[in-house]
Amino acid sequence: MTPSRHDVLTIGQLAERSGLATSALRYYESLGLIHSTRTTGNQRRYPRTALRRIAFVRAAQQVGLSLDEARAALARLPEDRAPTTREWNAVAAAWQHRIDRQIAELQLMKAKLTGCIGCGCLSLTRCGLYNAGDRAAAAGPGARYLLTRDPDSGPEPGPAPGAEG
């Protein structure tokens, strides 16, 4: 079964089907998230499995993974076919832990807010919100993530300066 013209997508077609801009797709390819072959005229041709990989990446982003982390996760799934239940199970389980943790954090935040409503506080010392930023403050430079990144992974080369109070 050599791939016929319909088994393969131009970057424009892939963009339309995935909802991403062609620039984003080239960027993804530069990161190794998707792969393409080239025509004799040096144009990219993507296999249909690229759609699955993109879907995976977008889902990974929603779970809070960076593109680099998504690539690592993607490396544990087969390149050219849909993952088996077993393969998918391992990945999904890890994501569920992430999601659960994020949900737990949000619920904690919500509880703190409710407590604040009850006490009318934000009184500098007693308010639970006052200590809500502990983990976020420990993150490195760069744009801050909205929710806490994986707390028990990563080298964390640069400790936050002056954070010891």
Partner DNA sequence: CTCCGACTTCAAGCGCGCTTGAAGTCAAGC
Partner DNA sequence: GCTTGACTTCAAGCGCGCTTGAAGTCGGAG
The residue behind tokens 């909205």 is 146
Cα separation of the two ends of the chain: 65
Using CB under 7 A as the criterion, which residues of the chain lie in contact with DNA when the complex forms?
Answer: 10-13, 15, 20-24, 26-28, 36, 39-44, 61, 66-68, 141-144, 158, 160-161
44 binds, among a second copy, DNA, none (CB under 5 to 8 A by kind): DNA
The residue behind tokens 């999601």 is 99
Using CB under 8 A as the criterion, which residues of the chain lie in contact with a second copy when the complex forms?
Answer: 12, 15-22, 48, 51-52, 55-56, 58-59, 61-64, 82-85, 88-89, 92, 95-96, 99-100, 102-103, 105-107, 109-110, 112-114, 116-117, 120-124, 127, 129-130, 132-134, 136-137, 143-147, 160-165
Nearer to DNA among residue 78 and residue 154 (C-beta): 154
Closest to 10 measured CA to CA, from 38, 48, 35, 45: 45
Complete edge-to-edge strand list for the sheet that includes strand 44-47: 8-9, 44-47, 37-38
The residue behind tokens 């490396």 is 75
User: Following CA atoms 79, 11, 63, 90 in sequence, which dihedral angle do they give, to the nearest 10 degrees?
Assistant: -10
User: Measured from the CB of residue 130, what is the shortest distance to DNA in angstroms?
Assistant: 17
User: Measured from the CB of residue 71, what is the shortest distance to a second copy in angstroms?
Assistant: 16
The beta strands (E) that lie in 18-79 are given as 37-38, 44-47
62 binds, among DNA, a second copy, none (CB under 5 to 8 A by kind): a second copy
Nearer to DNA among residue 12 and residue 78 (C-beta): 12
